[in-house]
Amino acid sequence: MFGIAQAYAPVDQSSDSQPNSSSYDIIQGASSTPSISPILSYSHSRSPHVIDNQSFFPPVAAPSEPHVPTFPHFIKPLSQLIGLDEIFYLNRKNALTTPDLRLRNELLRSYTEYVHPFMPLLEIHDILEAIEGNGNLVSLLVFQRVMFAGAAFVDLRRLKNAGYATRREAREQFFRKARLL
């Protein structure tokens, strides 16, 4: 008794070749649908063997490993509760990137001069000392929010030198980073 074929491939109906006696045809006769023949054929020993290297599914590239970014020395590491998928998503959305040194310093200066005196919500001295390297750490969320707030007052030339066309574009990007975190 023959087993049931487990995988099927479309057969080109334009060829006049006949299947060999060891293959098992599923559909015979005239039909509006193409004939299907098994990829696996059964020999008399009942052991399946592959007669065609054809694959139903195109080869799929292995997903690239999520890149876990390295943060500046003053940023706390991400929580262990955040999965690699979330890290990959945040990285793709640039929420885990920090501005270059020059822009970062300008954004901090703008924050301390224009925002903090009127809304002293943070211990700005702790943040500045952490950046200077006293061993304290700042969460990435707090840091991105400080960057966003400082972007409203930083010199426009600094933003343009960093690649932003307008102040609005810079603020939108810094806001998006903070919101995603």
Which of 63-67, 105-109, 153-157, 160-164 bottoms out in mean pLDDT, i.e. has the lowest? 63-67
Convert the pLDDT of each residue in 103-121 to its tens digit. Answer: 999 999 999 999 999 999 9
pLDDT at 76: 95
pLDDT band for position 27 (50/70/90)?
A: very low
- Domains of the chain, by residue range, sit at 1-60, 84-180
Residue 166 Rama label (left phi>0; alpha psi -120 to 50; beta): beta
Q: 37 by DSSP, 3-state: which?
A: strand
Nearest Cα to Cα of residue 103 among 174, 40, 35: 174
- Tell me, yes or no, if the pTM score tops 0.95: no
| Average pLDDT rounded to a whole number, residues 33-53 | 48
Q: Would you state the pLDDT for residue 179? A: 97
What amino acid is encoded at 160 in this protein?
K
> 18-24 long-range CB contacts below 8 Å, 24 or more apart?
23/51
Q: pLDDT per residue over 81-104, tens digit each?
A: 999 999 999 999 999 999 999 999
- Residues 59-69, mean pLDDT to the nearest whole number: 59
For residue 66, what pLDDT is reported? 55
**Residue recorded with tokens 């999965």:** 83
